[in-house]
Amino acid sequence: MDEKLLLFAKAMADDTRQEMMKHLCCVWLSVNDVVDLLGGKVKQPTVSHHLKLLEDAELVLVRQEGRQRFYTLNQEHVTTCCGQLITNYAPDYAGKVIRPEAIPVK
């Protein structure tokens, strides 16, 4: 497995990061915005740590404005990684729309 795909899988393995990614889809948010959207259940230093891991995995784009950083989901990279996972682990289904009822049961 290539390193980018491994970083993607590790980043996706955390529930908090998954929730953060949902909030970061299609909008630029500051760290404090993300803390607020998580309902205060995760403190700012922890959110910053998670954002750094997402940044290292190229799952968020970062924009600097003065002293503040804003983040948004890198949808292109998410799509690329998901496509690679399908190609590597479900090649029969690559490029197809699969309905759950179409998957054979053993």
Model pTM score: 0.82
Average pLDDT over residues 63-80: 93
Measured CA to CA, the distance from residue 101 to residue 56 in angstroms comes to: 37
- Report d(CA 13, CA 31) in Å as an integer: 21
- Which residues, 6 or more positions from 29, have their beta carbon under 8 angstroms from its beta carbon? 23, 37, 70, 71, 72
**Domain 3-89, CATH:** 1.10.10.10
Helices (H) and strands (E) in the chain, counts: 5, 3
Task: Kindly tell me if the per-residue pLDDT of 96 is higher than 70.
Answer: no
| Segment 10-50, tens digit of pLDDT | 999 999 999 999 999 999 999 999 999 999 899 999 999 99
Tell me the domain boundaries of the chain. 3-89
